Chain A
């Protein structure tokens, strides 16, 4: 009999989905929807954090609850919560659709939570799809966007194609081993990973996660979708969705037990290509959200470094990287949401004079951008240190050097944003950005978190290490 206690956070989220569903059926009242979303997401966050110690198998072994999954659930939930925090001014979305917006967001969160715990190919596939579908639709929620549904459709086509490829890979893996349980696969895969069929199956099955993470050949949706989506949705895609992708990707690679040399080479290639392509493309961007999208692509490359090392530090590094990415990307989007007028897209120049209009935000942006560039003393540096150390332990000096070159390239455009925020004088009299007290506290919390993660990451790293310890057979 299923131990339902282990499943409580998911059940809670499901109930939250139900609440939003009923709100959808009622008359649209954005204020009420926002309040409900805040309360429910905060409650869920508390609940997931409280259940972080749970362990066990649910649903005949297809659903594994352990520290790894629970912490990831907490992370995903914080992504959701933070995104909801940005929704006070949800002017990018039609008023009548606010409750649906939260519904889909919540649904996507639920699916990602399921994803974090999935240890069966079927559950992985289903939860991945559910989370993606919600996002496809959310991307189209933007009010009055001139390109309409096209970016959403593009996102959809890429997502569906890569998940189909992934599914085919799953089929090959299942066909080779006769089991779809990760626990059973883990015992058998390392020995046979170099068989052509198994190898092909694995590479194909990773594509779905690469898509979520926006790794190089699967990244073309990112700029369009980020640009077209409401800011909050972009923030959600950049934070929670990435974290979930990292969670499952690490689980999948851990299944190979670090035995596949060819696999490692594929991953290295993707990692390098992803970093380089993302950074070079980002340099040409004027729109902040596009820029952040390409930087996401680049960061996917860095995360991959940690994952491809397939050692304890690499996994811990990837996990830590996910955490840091969430904080930093969220901070950037926080600024974008606040700086954007009425939910419009903004160019980099629109940040002009930010240091006067909202000093706290400007400081947060500064740290977030430095963090994204991987400079100390921010959390982004610690994350890079971890993945690079892991790569060095595998003897991949040159990979680290390439990555560091990319860091310098990325710095070019991050500094461009920073210059706009701190240096360029705004054309007109700058309109002060009203930053409410809770929001200011949120920004301060982000600042503290980023600096603390850079200067004193001891406990976070220990947590990441403890989480990934269970991934080894």
Chain B
């Protein structure tokens, strides 16, 4: 129970501060300071953001499909949060003779669970956009759906070599299998594919076509306000964390590392990955739609498939 509470709180806090981190970093990239009024270095900024969002008016547009409109944001947030149930935070703890695994649940199909959650999050986007009864939102959701399902393919296929090496779908086992060396060393191509498609999955720039402020005015969440918008927002940042955590688990050896305690290592790795993503956001322009899909279908998927075959042949020893 405590474990659950700790993980949940940690994730939420981290999400809140990732926002701050991003704003700060973006500021720096753009030679400005970023938020610095609330608290020292703007440390209370997330809190004030939260309060603001909670007290904003919850507008439901006229033609909206009410029920779906209300619940769609929760889908995004929930799926992102639930993914953390299978991310191992560290080695088993032994307290008073009891073994306490440092993970909410060690599913033997953990990887499939992760993908299931990723797929489900599409529903939040699609339903939210559709229920808004707005052209921009609709377009955003269509794009989102197409993009996410395309990249999910590459995402799934890029992980297959990792599964092959670890011989298991459990995230704990995958981390254990990297005791010797992180998989990034043996599977650099898989890492690249995974990272790219994961970024597309979480709709980050340069893959943020579903929300593309410039053309679609925020895309699928155009019509959302208040905490519902906040939930989309929250979901997005939790997804960044998920992405970081998964990258860490699959390729960077998870919580493994010298000197520091295990959860801290994981945290470091997550922040590292997220920082990289922010960096990319600050650097690259947005893709055009056909370029985006072309990258996924014409490059990432074939590359992932070929990578699987090569890995397989190496493994069976030909």
- Do any beta carbons of A and B sit within 8 angstroms of each other in the complex? no
Residue positions of A touching B, CB distance < 8 A: none
